[in-house]
Amino acid sequence: MSSGTGQVRIALRNCGVIDPESIKDYIATDGYDALAKALFDMSPDEVVETVKKSGLRGRGGAGFPTGIKWETARRSESDIKYVLCNADEGDPGAFMDRSVLEGDPHCVLEAMAICGYAIGASQGIIYVRAEYPLAVKRLQIAIEQATDMGLLGDNILGSGFSFNVRLYFGAGAFVCGEETSLMNSVQGGRGEPRLKPPFPAVKGLWDKPTNINNVETYANVAQIIRNGWEWFRQFGTEKSPGTKVFALAGKVNNVGLVEVPMGTPLRVIIEDIGGGIRNNKKFKAAQTGGPSGGCIPAEHLDTPIEYESLISLGSMMGSGGMIVLDEDDCMVGISKFYLTFTAEESCGKCTPCRIGNVRLLEILDRITEGKGEEKDMDDLENLGNTIKDTALCGLGQSSPNPIISTLRYFSDEYKEHIYHKRCPAGSCSKLIGYKILPDKCTGCTVCARNCPVSCISGERKKVHVIDQERCIKCGVCFSKCRFKAIVRG
């Protein structure tokens, strides 16, 4: 079960191990055993109880206890109920769900069928990003194979229980990852969220009770049913049992997916598994939770990763994006990056988010252009908190988090930009420039030949000059000059 430094593979157990297009491979690794066990040896209540006792929490971001959701959906009276799988994976730097869908599609189908049996639903829908064509193809193959073998469809394995799964394609809107928007989108409308309650488990798709879980959440279910809740609880912590998959990226040596027990310190992921920071640079922060999360500085690297601990640090678990930042990353720039994203993706239904985020972005723009004012930091904080308190859905309620967390840990960087018009990381293009030092330039022409906008001139063996008007500050010349003749400042 374990592989590599401190990793434990539950959700990813089959990824890269079996042929995802072969149901036989999946069955050979005890696939669909859990479904058979549920159908023949357990009552629906026992299934719900097992999931509840396992302590499994939603891996899509908020960490809501999965068993409680299932129980609510089970208790909601209705002739029709739905099982939804959220495969919209919107965090712009994360690909955990995609890897599960591409590497082990059957484990999601099996879990959805188990859920259907538990809550009394016979229809399943996977809402998958249209940008993931391979995942779509593998899911289609898996559904066909499972149906052919009587593991999906009518009267599964002669049990009397029927369950069908259909795919539904997203069309590129981050907010559709939010569950109520997702359901509006499946109904064929604009993917705008609505107020909760009523929660989907009571009134969801087409106003019917609906259980919605994330891909990775489902990827744990079959193994919990097969091995028992006690087995699952041996991994992770009391409050956050099991493992979490992270998409480790940014300035570490080893990027890629990692699956670690909950409670693993951030340091282990970054230093032991990630192999430390590239090019011997200095670690600055780890960003978790994507556009809804925040940045965790070096002094908190030993915090065990759990839903609650990340929130107390001003970040959140989110779906599992983990971006490692080094000394060259500007924290004001990072906030601006995330806010640009959320402002673009705001659905516009409520004013705090539609207008508030644009105002936040304008302030950040000014700061990064060297036009920051003294009151900007207070304004960011006050407006950010107002948006969080008043926005309608999770997008707006969390969009100021990247700003608020960087204000908390990196206020010095904001101050440098505002008071000294300097970007200490050397990253904000309006605040930096490149210059050629005449006494060091040998006239080798390398910079001129590599400049993407051809704005460096000079004859061979003569000093070269940059046309500052046309320079786009891409830094290519700086990295190409072998004589340290180009300086940034």
Partner 1 sequence: MAQEIVEVTESYPALDAFYDSLPDKNGALIPMLHKAQEEYGYLPQEVQLYVALKLGIPASKVYGVATFYSLFNLERKGQYRINVCLGTACYVRGSEAILEALENELKIKRTETTGDGLFTLSSIRCVGACGLAPVVMVGDKVYGRVTPDDVRGIVDEYLGKAGEHND
Ligand X SMILES: Cc1cc2nc3c(=O)[nH]c(=O)nc-3n(C[C@H](O)[C@H](O)[C@H](O)COP(=O)(O)O)c2cc1C
Contacts with ligand X by CB under 6 A lie at: 58-62, 64, 86, 88-90, 175, 177-179, 212-214, 217, 319, 393-395
CB of 357 to ligand SF4, least distance (A): 8
* Interface characters, 317-336, with partner 1 (x: CB under 8 A): ----x-x-x---x----x--
SS3 call for 486: strand
Q: Which does 442 bind (CB under 5 to 8 A by kind): ligand SF4, ligand X, partner 1, none?
A: ligand SF4
Q: Which does 212 bind (CB under 5 to 8 A by kind): ligand X, ligand SF4, partner 1, none?
A: ligand X
Tell me the two tokens of residue 322.
Answer: 């983990």
* Interface characters, 38-77, with partner 1 (x: CB under 8 A): ----------------------------------------
Q: Which of 249, 313, 383, 428 binds partner 1 (CB under 8 A)?
A: 249
The helices-and-strands tally (H runs, E runs) of the chain is 20, 13
What are the CB-based long-range contacts (under 8 Å, 24+) for 469-476? 471/433, 471/434, 472/429, 473/429, 473/432, 473/433, 473/434, 475/434, 476/447, 476/450, 476/451, 476/452
Tell me the two tokens of residue 202.
Answer: 């009571």
Altogether, the residues listed in the chain come to a count of 489
Q: Which CB sits closer to ligand X, 145 or 180?
A: 180
Q: Under a CB-based contact definition with an 8 Å cutoff, are residues 485 and 436 in contact?
A: yes
Which is nearest to 34 in space by CA: 238, 168, 232? 232
Start-to-end C-alpha separation, the chain: 50
The answer to the question of residue 206 lying near partner 1 (CB under 8 A) is yes
Which is nearest to 60 in space by CA: 154, 153, 158, 182? 182
CA distance 485 to 107: 57
In single-letter form, the type of residue at position 131 comes to E
Angle at 268 (CA atoms; ends 264, 272), nearest 5 degrees = 145
Q: Which CB sits closer to ligand X, 128 or 143?
A: 128
DSSP state of 350: S
Total of residues contacting partner 1 (CB under 8 A): 53
Q: Which of 395, 418, 432, 461 binds ligand SF4 (CB under 6 A)?
A: 395
Half-sphere exposure of 173 (CA within 13 A, CB side): 21
The answer to the question of residue 255 lying near partner 1 (CB under 8 A) is yes
Q: Which does 122 bind (CB under 5 to 8 A by kind): partner 1, ligand SF4, ligand X, none?
A: none
The answer to the question of residue 98 lying near partner 1 (CB under 8 A) is yes
CA distance 245 to 7: 10
Q: Which of 28, 437, 472, 487 binds partner 1 (CB under 8 A)?
A: 472
Q: Which of 208, 244, 251, 300 binds partner 1 (CB under 8 A)?
A: 251
CA distance 152 to 184: 26
Strand (E) or helix (H) holding 210? strand 210-214
Segment 124-183, which members bind ligand SF4 (CB under 6 A)?
Answer: 175
The answer to the question of residue 256 lying near partner 1 (CB under 8 A) is yes
Q: Under a CB-based contact definition with an 8 Å cutoff, are residues 290 and 399 in contact?
A: no
CB of 174 to partner 1, least distance (A): 8
Q: Which of 353, 361, 377, 423 binds ligand SF4 (CB under 6 A)?
A: 353
The answer to the question of residue 392 lying near ligand SF4 (CB under 6 A) is yes
What are the CB-based long-range contacts (under 8 Å, 24+) for 340-345? 341/92, 341/174, 341/291, 342/174, 342/291, 342/395, 342/396, 342/399, 343/399, 345/90, 345/173, 345/174, 345/175, 345/291, 345/395
CB of 444 to ligand SF4, least distance (A): 3
CB of 453 to ligand SF4, least distance (A): 5
The answer to the question of residue 132 lying near partner 1 (CB under 8 A) is yes
Q: Which stretch binds partner 1 (CB under 8 A): 70-78, 170-178, 413-421, 436-444?
A: 170-178
DSSP string for 372-394:
--TTHHHHHHHHHHHHHHH-SSH
* Interface characters, 441-470, with ligand SF4 (x: CB under 6 A): xxxxxxx---x-x-xx-------x-x----
CB of 86 to ligand X, least distance (A): 4
> Which chain residues interact with ligand SF4 by CB under 6 A?
175, 193, 346-350, 353-354, 391-393, 395-396, 434, 436, 441-447, 451, 453, 455-456, 464, 466, 471-477, 480-481, 483, 485-486
Binding site for partner 1 (CB under 8 A): 91-95, 98-99, 130-132, 166, 168-174, 185-191, 206, 247, 249-251, 255-256, 287, 290, 321, 323, 325, 329, 334, 337-338, 341, 347, 450-453, 472-476, 480
